[in-house]
Amino acid sequence: MAVGNYGTVRPADVSVDDVEIYYTKNDGNSVSELFKIPDPTEVLTKVDNPENPGQIFGGLYTLSLPTNIFGGKGVYSIIIRPKQFTATIVDCGVLNINNDVLGIVLDRNEIPSNLWSNNLVGYRVEYLKLDPATGEEKKISNTFRVITSNNLASVVPDPTNGSNESTYGFNDSSSLMFCTLTPSSAPSVRPNITPYIGTAGQTVIISSTCFNPIMMEIEMVEHDDETLAYALYGNQSKSLEDGIYTIYNFENSIYRQYNLYEVKNQFTGSPLYEIRQERGNIDFGKDFDDISV
């Protein structure tokens, strides 16, 4: 037997059903509250391997930002993280025969069926605690455990168990699930002190770790160097008859349109100002292909 460890970073192939997406918007003056995208499958799609259609490429996903939400100017902070669900600890116990193996017991009704029989391995457990002052459950900061195994189990009599904890044996007919956690074992120097793994009746938040969460800071802008180049290097026209000044983009479509006029002294008729005013009502008669020769 060799002692060592290993690790790797792999492209995630998580199902988009197991993803949660949140966002805030900073419009330049304030940051909005945190919103949740109700159905992540509508905005996130996997990318298939071009050589094997239907097979996920791995790691690469397309995030389709709906313009009715993300179409305005501003900085959007989009958080993409693994899905979470809450469950209640039914009991804490030890394993039959191996009484030094501690675990929490969950009710399978709160666990998706595809996560039974060791498919919760690697999931993170975080704990909530009732705040007597407010009567609300609050998350315990900086405390988490990682599930290392989970199997359906039921309480079994075990006369060898000297602790006050219930003893559980693996049983597929039971709707309870025994989950071992890490860290959960006592240090060798203080064998009676075990790390906190939760208490019966406590609510826990269980999170998948099937990909590393990311935050995208997307700035939606109205102008960049290309739109400035329209104004500098794009085609332009100035209608001498009605004073409409038009700037075209590089496809010769109307990008902006302005009214040019002078403000004169009403008594003397002398010019006071030259005005360039953006038009909201575009005059499409100034289409570049129509007026140029």
Partner 1 sequence: MEVIKKKILLEKYISRQRERYGSFTTSNIDVQIYLTQSYEDTGLYSNASYSPYSDNYRGEYKLEREDVLVPRNFDPLIHGRHPLINKDRYDNEPTNVVGMMDDRYLNSVGSYQIDENNKPLYQPNLNMSNDIKKSYNGVLSVDDNQIRYVIGGQPYSDGQLLKPNTGVMFTTNFNEIIEDFYSGREWKETIFSHNMGGLRTTENGGLPPNTGLYAIYQREEFLDTIETPKVRDEVFIKRGVEDIFERHAIMSEIKTRNDIDEYRDGYF
Among residue numbers 214 through 243, which ones bind partner 1 (CB under 8 A)?
214-224, 226-227
Q: Per rule CB under 8 A, is residue 266 in the interface with partner 1? A: no
Task: Return the residue of 15, 17, 71, 231 that touches partner 1, per CB under 8 A.
Answer: 71
**CA dist., res. 174 & res. 93, Å (int):** 15
Minimum gap (Å) between residue 274 Cβ and partner 1: 27
Task: Return the residue of 166, 167, 180, 207 that touches partner 1, per CB under 8 A.
Answer: 180
**CA dist., res. 120 & res. 126, Å (int):** 14
Whether residue 268 contacts residue 290, with contact meaning beta carbons closer than 8 Å, is answered with no
**CA dist., res. 234 & res. 247, Å (int):** 7
Residues 6+ apart with CB under 8 A from 254: 246, 247, 248, 282, 284, 286, 287, 288
Residues 81-100 that bind partner 1 (CB under 8 A): 90, 95-98
- Other beta carbons within 10 angstroms of residue 21's beta carbon come to 20
Name which of 184 and 202 has its Cβ closer to partner 1: 184
Angle at 262 between CA 258 and CA 267, to 5 degrees: 155
Q: Per rule CB under 8 A, is residue 193 in the interface with partner 1? A: no
Q: Per rule CB under 8 A, is residue 4 in the interface with partner 1? A: yes
Task: Return the residue of 187, 191, 201, 213 that touches partner 1, per CB under 8 A.
Answer: 213
Task: Return the residue of 29, 52, 68, 266 that touches partner 1, per CB under 8 A.
Answer: 68
**CA dist., res. 245 & res. 237, Å (int):** 6
Task: Return the residue of 99, 149, 235, 259 that touches partner 1, per CB under 8 A.
Answer: 149
| Long-range CB contacts for residues 137-142, cutoff 8 Å, separation at least 24 | 137/203, 139/205
Q: Per rule CB under 8 A, is residue 63 in the interface with partner 1? A: yes
Q: In one letter, which amino acid is 16?
A: V
Q: Per rule CB under 8 A, is residue 61 in the interface with partner 1? A: yes
**CA dist., res. 169 & res. 174, Å (int):** 10
Name which of 180 and 202 has its Cβ closer to partner 1: 180
One symbol per residue from 245 to 264: x for binding partner 1 (CB under 8 A), - otherwise; what is it? Answer: ----x-x-xxx---------
Residues 25-54 that bind partner 1 (CB under 8 A): 43, 47
